[in-house]
Amino acid sequence: MAMLKALVVDDASFVRDLVKRTVRQRFPVIETTDAQNGKRAQSLMSRNAFDLVLCDWEMPEMSGLELLQWMRQQPQCKTVPFIMITSRGDKDHVIEAVQEGVSEYLGKPFSPEGLSKKIIKVMGRRLKEAMDSSGKSMAGPADAFKESATLLTQKREAATVPAKPGAQSASSSQPESAPAKKPAAGKPSMNLASVRFADSALKSVVKDINLTEVKVVAKRDQVFPGILDQAVVDIDIGEGEMARLNGYVHQLQAVDKRQDTDFVSVTIRFVDEDPKKLEDLSRFVARFRAGRA
**225-239 confidence digits (pLDDT tens):** 999 999 999 888 777
Please check whether residue 8 is in contact with residue 34, taking contact to mean a CB–CB distance below 8 angstroms: yes
Region 184-193: mean pLDDT is 55
Q: Give the tens place of pLDDT for each residue, 15-35.
A: 999 999 999 999 999 999 999
Q: Which of 2-11, 157-166, 188-197 has the highest mean pLDDT?
A: 2-11
Q: Is the dihedral of CA 45, 48, 49, 53 positive or negative?
A: negative
12 pLDDT band, cuts 50/70/90, is: very high
Region 177-190: mean pLDDT is 46
pTM: 0.75
H runs (alpha helix) in the chain: 13-26, 38-47, 64-71, 91-99, 112-134, 144-147, 149-153, 275-292
* All domains in the chain, ordered by first residue: 4-153 (3.40.50.2300), 192-292 (2.40.10.220)
